[in-house]
Amino acid sequence: MPAEVVLPTEPGPGRLADLVLPSGAGVAGARAAETAVDDLGEALSRARAERRPIVFGVSADIARRDVEFRDVTLDVPQPRPIAAAPVAVWLAASQIAEAERPILLAGRGAIEARPALLRLADRIGAPLATTLKAKDLFRGEPFDLEVAGGLAGPVSRMVFDVADLVICVGAGFDGAAIRRGAMVDGRRLVLIDADDDATPQGDLAVRGDPAAVADALVDTLDSLNVPSSGFRTEAMAGLLAEQARMGGRPRTTSGTVDLETALRRLDEILPRRRVVVDDGGRFLTETLRHVHPGDPRAYVLPVNFGSTGLGMGAAVGAAIGRPDVPVVMVCADDGFLRGGPAEFTTAVRYGLDIIVIVANTGAVLGPQHDRVGIGQRPLRMSGVADALGGEGVTVSGPTDLQRLEAVIAHRTRPLLIDLHLDVPG
């Protein structure tokens, strides 16, 4: 999401650039008080055109001066679909024609191309998968392998194991991921992306708008009378459907609930239209698997920095950016305590529609992720939420899970759901 961040700075851009550029964001600044409004307009144009945050620095001497406000027209060129070279499309079609077990893998850069990708996958008989940042792009489709890689279920992994071609669309694989990733190891790889930087060396890289390339591939395959691979079968669809269902779960001790059972139930009863924010931490894998945004554009994963405790701040930002839908943030108890209460207070003060789900084991993770305190009596996070002016509810058994639907439906302020978990140390 393009964004503009305005910071007070010391004169000179060097110090700000050293801080910001490693994050992937851009840097701009006010050159003088007289040009500050124009400079800000240029920075906003960059944020929209480059599709990344731009940090706009204003030195203290400029910030103290009064300037006349005026409207500034943003100069943002309208993006035009990039047409792939016909020879590249033909070569990609040739690779597909030779494949017996193709898979189509979509990343965040392919979200808007969903209809075209479905047509291509249906034409060539390819199951569908996504990267984590395109999670749920194909949710509900019978041949959806869901998120590829370590989060994949056993059936999805089996399908990947026998694939001989991966068509990767709009996913920013770097060279290391391709060389070391078992997901593509030993398989031919066709990469399709509109961004030059996102198409590293594979067997073939096609630069072009994902939807346009997918449509061109269907047309080319039709003109060459290439048959479908036949890789997708009713048996595969049945196995994938069975994979999505929850198997037997262990009994839990008194006063606790099973995490997967609770997350699956919450996924069913939370508002259908929602933004989902996943914090890092011990339970990240379970939340990634079982709490769905439904729309990958409504999914926020603030763990690129590699730290827990960032979810609550990201949830506040998402709630301000999307005030029309509730924001669901899932974290562990230690992650919430790392800055969460302060941001939860912000949500209360601004009346933001945020639902926080805390996976609570009474644990505090040390700097080396040593588990300290697991199995001890958990801190009552619902009480923390109440004390901060929100609403808290403790879930410590099946009866509490059953009443959650009514609690969620009748919430009037930020809500924290405190899941007391039975997790062995």
Scored b (16 or more CB within 10 A) or e, 365-390 reads beeeeeeebbeeebbebbebbeebeb
The arithmetic mean of pLDDT across residues 49-59, rounded, is: 85
Q: Compare 67 and 227 and report the one with higher pLDDT.
A: 227
- Provide the percentage of residues in the chain whose pLDDT is more than 90: 53
The arithmetic mean of pLDDT across residues 307-318, rounded, is: 90
Q: Which residue has the tokens 């991966």?
A: 166
Q: Are residues 58 and 95 in the same domain?
A: no
The arithmetic mean of pLDDT across residues 57-67, rounded, is: 86
Angle at 130 between CA 133 and CA 356, to 5 degrees: 40
User: Is residue 97 exposed (0-12), middle (13-18) or buried (19+ Cβ within 10 Å)?
Assistant: middle
Question: What's residue 151's pLDDT?
Answer: 86
**pLDDT for 279 beyond 50:** yes
- Provide the percentage of residues in the chain whose pLDDT is more than 70: 86
How far, in Å, CA of 147 to CA of 376, rounded? 34
Q: Are residues 282 and 392 in the same domain?
A: yes
pLDDT-wise least confident of 16-30, 220-234, 276-290: 16-30
Whether 290 contacts 264, CB under 8 Å: yes
**pLDDT for 7 beyond 60:** no
DSSP annotation of 65 reads: S
How far, in Å, CA of 305 to CA of 332, rounded? 17
Q: What is the CATH number of the domain that holds 178?
A: 3.40.50.1220
Question: What's residue 146's pLDDT?
Answer: 93
Q: Are residues 94 and 236 in the same domain?
A: yes
Of 13, 29, 63, the residue at which a domain comes to its end is: 63
Q: Are residues 263 and 338 in the same domain?
A: yes
Encode pLDDT of 205-215 as tens digits. Answer: 899 999 999 99
Question: What's residue 179's pLDDT?
Answer: 42
DSSP annotation of 413 reads: S
Task: Identify the band that residue 425 occupies on the pLDDT scale cut at 50, 70 and 90.
Answer: very low
Whether 143 contacts 237, CB under 8 Å: yes
pTM of the entire predicted model: 0.82
The arithmetic mean of pLDDT across residues 324-348, rounded, is: 93
Question: What's residue 175's pLDDT?
Answer: 46
Encode pLDDT of 131-169 as tens digits. Answer: 999 999 999 999 999 999 888 899 999 999 999 999 999
Report residue 25 as tokens: 């964001």
How far, in Å, CA of 127 to CA of 138, rounded? 10
Residue 297 burial (CB count, 10 A): 15
Task: Identify the band that residue 173 occupies on the pLDDT scale cut at 50, 70 and 90.
Answer: low
Angle at 231 between CA 291 and CA 235, to 5 degrees: 65
Range of the domain at 24: 4-63
Task: Identify the band that residue 10 occupies on the pLDDT scale cut at 50, 70 and 90.
Answer: low
393 beta partners: 417
Q: Compare 289 and 76 and report the one with higher pLDDT.
A: 289
Q: Are residues 14 and 136 in the same domain?
A: no
421 beta partners: 257
Task: Identify the band that residue 265 occupies on the pLDDT scale cut at 50, 70 and 90.
Answer: very high
- Rounded to the nearest integer, the mean pLDDT of the chain is 86
Q: Are residues 92 and 232 in the same domain?
A: yes
Residue 138 placed within a domain: yes
Highest averaged pLDDT of the listed ranges 70-84, 187-201, 292-306, 321-335: 321-335
The arithmetic mean of pLDDT across residues 89-117, rounded, is: 95
Sheet holding 354-360, edge to edge: 299-300, 275-278, 327-332, 354-360, 415-420, 391-395
Largest CA-CA distance found in the chain, in angstroms, rounded: 71
Question: What's residue 281's pLDDT?
Answer: 76
Q: Which helix (H) or strand (E) holds 385?
A: helix 381-387
The arithmetic mean of pLDDT across residues 61-85, rounded, is: 80
Residue 250 placed within a domain: no
Q: Are residues 293 and 367 in the same domain?
A: yes
Q: Are residues 214 and 114 in the same domain?
A: yes
Q: Are strands 371-372 and 364-365 parallel, antiparallel or unpaired?
A: antiparallel
pLDDT-wise least confident of 30-34, 105-109, 134-138, 350-354: 30-34
Question: What's residue 247's pLDDT?
Answer: 73
Q: Are residues 263 and 196 in the same domain?
A: no
Report residue 29 as tokens: 């600044």
How far, in Å, CA of 283 to CA of 297, rounded? 23
Q: Compare 76 and 139 and report the one with higher pLDDT.
A: 139
Task: Identify the band that residue 14 occupies on the pLDDT scale cut at 50, 70 and 90.
Answer: low
Q: For the chain, how many structural domains are there in total?
A: 3
Residue 398 placed within a domain: yes
Q: Compare 17 and 30 and report the one with higher pLDDT.
A: 30
Question: What's residue 178's pLDDT?
Answer: 46
